[in-house]
Chain A
Amino acid sequence: MRDFLKTSAIIARREFAAYFSTPLAAVFITIFVAATGAFAFFIGGFFERGQANLESFFIYHPWLYLFLVPAVAMRLWAEERKTGTIELLMTLPISPAEAIVGKFAAAWAFVGVALMLTFPMWITVNVLGSPDNGVILASYLGSFLVAGAFLAVGAFISALTKNQVIAFILSATACFLLVTSGMDIVQNTFRVWTPRIVSDAISSMSVLSHYDEITRGVVSLGSIVFFVSLIAFALFANAIAVTQKKSA
């Protein structure tokens, strides 16, 4: 176990540094911070609401993640396949699981850094009023979990192709389905021809409904289990994809 964590940490460190050795980090962080702020102020009506909370800030996170997170995840495996470094990586004395966890952790930490850099929002709201900081903390956690779930799905899809553009489009689509599965537009298409249990099952897969719950300050075990198992499942699929598709 210690070896596992140590090896994963070495891989994660290299991977994390790789984000910052290209303009990707600067571009991503700038856009993320600017976009979350802009949405909160101009679309969410942060000031007009006259409430000391960050609801108008957090509500748009899953939608922003829809296209920002696949951009972070797309390179994880597709690039290794494209440049041939996967052959190097997989012939080092490490297990595929160590590589997968390390890479995922690096990407998640990277998005975490971007998320932390939105702290001026938190300062602002605390200067202007006295918000419930517990709810804000829970919301940050929820946002981070959504990013993690999207990243894990994106990493899996990235392992299926050596083309980063394809990885991006497919992951964005998959994440879109995860966000909208609880909404009427998706639910209605299923309700008409499937038994109730199917549409309920699809609805329970909705990232959005769990996220809404957490951002209201309700961090239930169910929601945590939902996100953790979604991530675990995607990483497991990632492992299968990496070991099976090496040859192609």
Chain B
Amino acid sequence: MAALIETVGLQKTFGRIRAVDGISLSVEKGEVLGFLGPNGAGKSTTMKMITGFLEPDAGTARICGFDVLTNPKAAKSRLGYVPEGAPAYADMTPASFLSFIAEIRGYDGNDGRTRVTAAVAKAGLGGVLDQRIETLSKGFKRRVGIAQAILHDPQVLIMDEPTDGLDPNQKHHIRELIREMAAHKAIIVSTHILEEVEAVCTRAVVIDKGRIVADGTAEDLLRRAPNHGAVAVRVARDKAEALMKAMSALSSVIRVETADGADGTVHLRALPKGTAAPLEQVAELVRREQISVTEIYVERGKLDDVFRDITTSVQA
């Protein structure tokens, strides 16, 4: 089966700036693709081209096999889109706004009412249906934008920074919603909150200066972290020296870093030679030498570090 979202060499230039420079992607049903990149990397521009709002200078995008340029109505009717900031007509109420969207999408009468009710329930808009959208809190405004995008239960959902500027509870709610829908749709979520990628995405694509610089699972990205797979051990200061020497001698360890802890302990970090964490060997060593350690764990690395690493390497 063909991918639900497919882009082929998307390109867009504003003035002299090439905002998007040949982005090719495909997203299958069941995938939640986290779209990452620094501000100005071209995330929003790419999404605007996928949704058919902007016309690319070169390349195209297909939604469920329908080209957004040559068959825009078919493509757009299978697509739900939450633009950045989830804009909605401020002088309408969520109820009137959603029934307008239902009508435009071709649901009349009862059918439309059922759709609106379902979207309202999913997005949790029950209490504010008759308040003007401009008087709603940021969290509710965002939910209106999401309700609008899922009203027709589209196969493809594209959301531009859906959790940006929300409080932790609101973020949680939106992530839950994405997770619930994930199995039946192809979803693209742009974000610059990296924890979000681990929380909801099955795959992460990092772009920088309009090009894809990384594409894989969150785990794949983490593997690029400098301290990924390192085994960290915390011991009393007097034991540190000996343990460090012993750890350095292990075949699976390439190097040991130390850092003084605040409470009279030392933090030792054994970096792996290959990709596998040398946990067993380190544990074995600790047991054999009967060193009492207060902590021992495998470090996964931080997405932040990886992100900074791959998106700044060009300038550096």
Chain A interfacial positions (CB closer than 8 Å to B): 7, 10-11, 14, 17-18, 21-22, 83-85, 87-88, 90-95, 243, 246-247
Contact = CB atoms under 8 A, between A and B. Distances in A.
B103 A10 contact: yes
B155 to A, nearest CB: 14
Nearest to B19: A247
Interface of B: 14, 48, 51-55, 72-74, 76-77, 79, 81, 83-85, 87-92, 96, 100-101, 103-106, 148
Contact of B83 (A17, A21, A22, A84): A84
A192 B271 CA distance: 88
Contact of A93 (B53, B77, B85, B88): B77
Contacts of B77: 93
Contacts of B104: 7, 10-11, 92-94
Contacts of B85: 84
Contact of B76 (A14, A83, A92, A243): A92
A91 B53 contact: yes
B138 to A, nearest CB: 14
24 contacts: A7-B104, A10-B104, A17-B96, A18-B91, A21-B91, A83-B87, A84-B84, A87-B48, A87-B53, A87-B81, A88-B148, A91-B52, A91-B53, A91-B79, A91-B81, A91-B83, A92-B76, A93-B73, A93-B104, A95-B72, A95-B73, A243-B55, A247-B14, A247-B54
A243 B96 CA distance: 27
A87 B54 CA distance: 9
Contacts of B83: 84, 87-88, 91
B54 A246 contact: yes
A47 B104 CA distance: 51
B119 to A, nearest CB: 15
A92 B83 CA distance: 12
A10 B100 CA distance: 7
Given A84-B84, A94-B104, 12 more contacts: A10-B104, A17-B96, A21-B92, A83-B87, A85-B88, A87-B81, A88-B81, A90-B53, A93-B74, A93-B106, A243-B55, A247-B54
Nearest to A247: B54
B88 A88 contact: yes
B66 to A, nearest CB: 11
A88 B54 CA distance: 12
B88 to A, nearest CB: 7
Nearest to A96: B72
Among B73, B79, B81, B87, residue most surrounded by chain A Cβ atoms (within 10 Å): B87
Nearest to A94: B104
Which 5 pairs from chain A and chain B are nearest by CB? A84-B87, A93-B77, A93-B76, A87-B83, A21-B91
A45 B73 CA distance: 56
A91 B76 contact: yes
B105 A246 contact: no
Contacts of A90: 52-53
Among A7, A87, A243, A246, residue most surrounded by chain B Cβ atoms (within 10 Å): A87
Nearest to B148: A88
Contacts of A87: 48, 53, 81, 83, 87
Contacts of B91: 18, 21-22
A88 B84 CA distance: 10
Contacts of A93: 72-74, 76-77, 104-106
A21 B91 CA distance: 7
Among A10, A83, A85, A91, residue most surrounded by chain B Cβ atoms (within 10 Å): A91
Nearest to A20: B91
Contacts of B48: 87
Contacts of A83: 87, 90
A95 to B, nearest CB: 7
A83 B14 CA distance: 21
A246 B53 contact: yes
Nearest to B96: A17
A198 B88 CA distance: 47
B40 to A, nearest CB: 15
A88 B105 CA distance: 13
B89 A85 contact: yes
Contacts of A94: 73, 104
A87 B189 CA distance: 17
A135 B77 CA distance: 49
Contacts of A84: 83-85, 87
Contacts of B89: 14, 18, 85
A92 B52 CA distance: 10
Contact of A92 (B55, B92, B101): B101
Contacts of A243: 55
B21 to A, nearest CB: 16
A108 to B, nearest CB: 20
B286 to A, nearest CB: 58
